[in-house]
A and B are shown apart, each in its own frame.
Chain A
Amino acid sequence: MIYLIDDKKIRQEKDYKWTDDRFESFKSLIKPIYTLDDLQENTTDIFQTGNVILYHESFLDSTDIANEASDRRRRLDNFAKNTNSYLVLFSGSKNTRNLDGNIANLPVSVLYSNLETFIQKAKEGDINLKFLLFGENPLVIKELNDKIDAALLNMINEKACKVGNANFFIEPAEKNINDPLTGCVLQTIFSDTDNEFTTKINEWLNEMIYDNIFIPLCFGNTLLDYNGLRLACHIRCSPSKNQTTRIFIYGVVGADYLIHNEYFNILKTKNTSLISFSKKAIGESALIPKEHFSKEELPGELAKLKLDVPQNYYDNHAIANEWGIYQMARNANINIKNLDGFDIEKINSLYFKWLIAKNKLNEPIPEEQQKQQREYLVKIEGPKFIGKIELPKTKR
């Protein structure tokens, strides 16, 4: 059993999205403890061999026994050492993750980011604190983190390159390059969801045309997702003033690390390159002469991508249904956003955007077709979305 001893419930819910409902879905595996009373009530259960204790280091600081906090932590430590149990100490004042036998120390953000992976692994009988420290693939994530840290240290005193053209630079929320390129427009990406990407592309890339867009390879919930590849796909598939602008994805690993990534093929398309995580590489890339890349070439380039049907669709029929609705609405010159009952967020998913872009459905309907639509529109009642046929879960 995993015991999560953390008094900071607001942080848990607001900052890290670990709500009561989310804990409830794992209730056979994890039990959160919020108060000293709770802790004392469950002491016997908690201190059992084989348990995992996730302990907020300042848990006792605001209780009546604050002066015993240090001693209690030491006793927890001894318990973990002397029994076959696991102890994880986390705090908002830790900035490193380390593992010493069956005792780990880590920042609070790392704990909550990787908690679900850890629980899932524990469910499969694989209790390994490395999943909590680094997530799904601990070795590679540790390697990525170390490489990023080393690269940042290396360029700490390096000056930004001065280039004369228009550059748009996207940085991750943490472990970003300070002052990467003189005169660039700098924005931070805080989330790795399709919706966030769509919103930010609309917000950032519709004002002016840039010469280059720089994207971090690793950001978001796990560095291993190489979300920069997906963001580049989004930019190519989203109608904007910069849909064909040259993209540089800066990262600490080469293409050999990315080859199995679903979005890898974006690197095979025109005007998209992977470059090193360094100011020098960024500066030099910005000055490479550009290759012509027109919107007409885009569908052909996007056809090189091989995207999987999103996991929230249970089969190809489901996606065909949505796709059919979208096309019907388009052909009828009806704004899909005005259709009641159609989940507009689906249009923001990369898969949908990709289908639309590679099939040139972003382009306006030819004038002749529009003329015919206007003629027919007066004769027929407009289509209405009346619902979908859902198969029972057992048949999916």
Chain B
Amino acid sequence: MPKDKYDFIQELLENKKLSPSQRERVLLLVKEEIRKEGLISKSLADRLAIIEELVNVKDISEENNQDLPKYFDSLHLYKYLVDYNQNPILKSTCHEIDSNELENILEYCETTEYDFEKHLGKILDAFREHDKKPAPPKVKALIRGYLTGKNFRGNPIKGWSTDKISHNWSSPELLQWSLNNQGVPPNIDKGLMINLRKKGYQLRKPFITENGSGIYSFSNLVLYFKCLFHIRSDNSLKNIIRNFNRASGWEAQIDFEISDSTFPNNIEIFTDVDKFLQAYKVIIELVLEKPNDKRVKPVVRLSLKENEDSVEFSIFHVGSVYGKTIDNTTVRLGNKYRGLIKNQINGLCKFYVQADFESGESYRVGIWDQPDLWIKIKPITAITLDKQVGGVEHIFVIVKPNM
């Protein structure tokens, strides 16, 4: 093959305007050209394979995914929240304080009567220590806001959580209340309250949270805070999702299939519930964006499954067809997914798509489930499924420590 032909091929492959599929096509033509000229040798074939791989990597890293975040293992989030919940001092900020807990507090505060300022000091010390553990910045900001009313720079914030709640453990109003109510924990349990004949801190301005709960007292607030990171049977994901669907007005637009057998109430998860709902919202918006017969509502089947070391939440758009080829899916990350990964998924959970592709084959593709994905490597976890999926399934996998 004349040298100018090589130059031409090189220029062509380096052209950034070529799409991945066009680039693959060029490589196939090059192979064919070489074979025709009878010049192919093992070494040349090997070199060509290397060029091919390099070209693909170049495509992923240069064209597509420059602004993706560094992969953050979602296991950190789970551990961070479990440890917060079980921390001997911090647990008093996500439970009501009863006589037993009061004794613990008196012991570590080294006092004989409850002293809010001392308790708060211990809480903030414990949080500073706890906060050295890795976790996504958003969840750290949530807890920091709840405990201190400040951001990581130490500047006051208007509010924490999506509800923008201004009440927090370091509020001047709470401190003032504590000075007038010596010996009374602000988040007092009902039994201790009757025992002491003292009420806990009542909010001057009660409010309704996004999920419709009325928050009247500091005890209400503390229990609400816990609901923002601890999913369990009395704060089940099923109920959270149902309420969210209702509040978002989606029940009129989508037929949600939620069955007790495939979506149990009793699965316990520690996660950032706000972020989780935001991620869910992005997927539901994808469902609503799909062109469909306006007379028939799309059907979305939701399910939750617990494995040894993970929990899988599936959002299955029944009967839908995935809009991209498998090649395209594993090479190019769309804007929606990129935004989802950047803003919600990274550090929250692993993310998979399971679908029937146009080729007629069905795959499970890890969109965000390992370090360096899309930057240095393609989703190599794409696996062919034995049977048809029957639609498009987005799966959030929450990783748990293996007990």
Contacts and interface: CB of A to CB of B under 8 A. Distances in A.
Interface in A62-109: 66-68, 70-71, 73-74, 77, 89, 91-96, 98, 100, 103, 105-109
Contacts of A61: 86, 91
Given A15-B189, A112-B191, A74 B233 contact: no
A10 B234 contact: no
B233 A92 contact: no
Nearest to B400: A70
Nearest to A153: B214
Given A70-B403, A93-B94, A156 B266 contact: no
B220 interface: yes
B192 interface: yes
Q: Nearest 8 pairs between A and B by C-beta?
A: A15-B191, A105-B234, A109-B190, A8-B100, A11-B98, A95-B223, A14-B99, A93-B95
Interface string A175-195: 010100000000010110000
Contacts of A109: 189-191
A364 to B, nearest CB: 34
A103 B266 contact: yes
Best-surrounded residue of A11, A96, A149 (most CB of chain B within 10 A): A11
Nearest to A109: B190
Interface of A: 8-11, 14-16, 57-58, 61, 66-68, 70-71, 73-74, 77, 89, 91-96, 98, 100, 103, 105-109, 112, 149, 152-153, 156, 173-174, 176, 178, 188, 190-191
Contacts of A107: 190
A153 B215 CA distance: 9
Nearest to A69: B86
Given A96-B234, A190-B194, A11 B99 contact: yes
Contact of A66 (B86, B95, B189, B222): B86
Interface string B65-77: 0000000000000
B56 interface: no
Interface in B249-301: 265-268
> How big is the B interface, by class?
35 or more
B190 A71 contact: no
Given A61-B86, A176-B202, A178-B216, 9 more contacts: A11-B100, A15-B194, A57-B232, A74-B267, A92-B97, A93-B222, A95-B223, A96-B234, A112-B191
Contacts of A71: 403
B115 interface: no
Interface string B219-258: 1101100100010111000000000000000000000000
A11 B189 CA distance: 10
A77 B266 CA distance: 8
A190 B193 contact: yes
B195 to A, nearest CB: 5
B223 A94 contact: yes
